[in-house]
Amino acid sequence: MMKKLKKLITLWKSIFPLVLFMVSCYGHNVSAQVNSEDQSSLGTATRNVAKKSINIGFRFGTTISEFTDQQPYTNIAQGFIAGALVRYNFSKSFALQLETDYSQRGGRLTNFNLSGFLKAENQYLRMHNLEIPLFAQYSVPLGGADLKLNAGPAIGFNLHSGTVFEGTMFGETSFHTYTGEANVSSSINSYEISAIGGIGFEFDISDTLFLFVDARYKYGVTPVYEGYSYVLLEKIQGDLKNHSMSFSIGFGF
């Protein structure tokens, strides 16, 4: 746990300069606007600048993910996603958006043990991840909303991985069924690099508040489960990546 915590601190240090840069740009814009306006319009000016330069928001939704098929007998799993975002708007049509998201991802795997008794086991593997994507965002006005196109890289940090499984052991004259849970964090890579693309709509509710809905696809670039074998044999192995869809709603100001 301490090793993972140190890695998480190192990861945050790597993105902190970008956050500091965005906040510094925001402060510079606010100062410039205040100096150019009469003191009596300070409140209005500050709200308008905040809306144009920096947005903060929160999102939550669901994920549908699966492992790649380097090994057969894989299937999809559903999870939950929630997070916060900071957006720096360079113009009305282009922005950079940094997020910190908690997400549940994974998939379903079926294992067969051919040594001794024949054992078949269905596993629901869920990964609890901290993900930090950075999006280039392009906006297009569309009726009373803005169409948002997002694309960019993401770094995922695995906090914990576990399986819920059920299986059957077959003997010569009988069989036995069982269920259980297991911590498999040691089998899952600590880090994952992925690419994310998405589309969404954003609606202004007031001068400072907006709502949004979006759909995204995450393509796993690096494997999350190395050396997986559905028959538990070293000669029959595959490095599994994780791909997923997510659907979310949120609000910002």
Using one digit for the tens of pLDDT, what is the confidence trace for 85-139?
999 999 999 999 999 999 999 999 999 987 667 889 999 999 999 999 999 999 9
Residue type at position 171? G
Residue 40 has a pLDDT of: 41
Please state the rounded mean pLDDT for residues 190-194.
97
Flag whether pLDDT at 238 surpasses 70: yes
Residue pair 184/123 in contact by the 8 Å Cβ criterion: no
Q: Does domain 54-252 have CATH number 3.40.50.1980?
A: no
CA distance 75 to 66: 6
Using one digit for the tens of pLDDT, what is the confidence trace for 20-41?
454 454 444 444 444 444 444 4
E strand intervals along the chain: 54-67, 74-75, 77-89, 94-113, 118-142, 145-170, 175-183, 191-204, 210-220, 225-233, 236-240, 242-252
Flag whether pLDDT at 243 surpasses 70: yes
Placement of tokens 């759909």 in the chain: 215
Flag whether pLDDT at 200 surpasses 80: yes
CA triplet 241, 7, 1: central angle to 5 degrees? 90
Residue 189 has a pLDDT of: 98
Residue burial 110-143, b: 16+ Cβ < 10 Å; e: rest: bbeeeeeeebebbbbbbbbbbbbbebebebeeee
What is the dihedral sign for C-alpha 124, 127, 128, 132? Answer: negative
Question: Nearest-CA neighbor of 238 among 250, 247, 248, 225?
Answer: 225
Give the pLDDT band (50/70/90) at residue 3.
Answer: low
pTM over 0.85: no
Domains of the chain, by residue range, sit at: 54-252
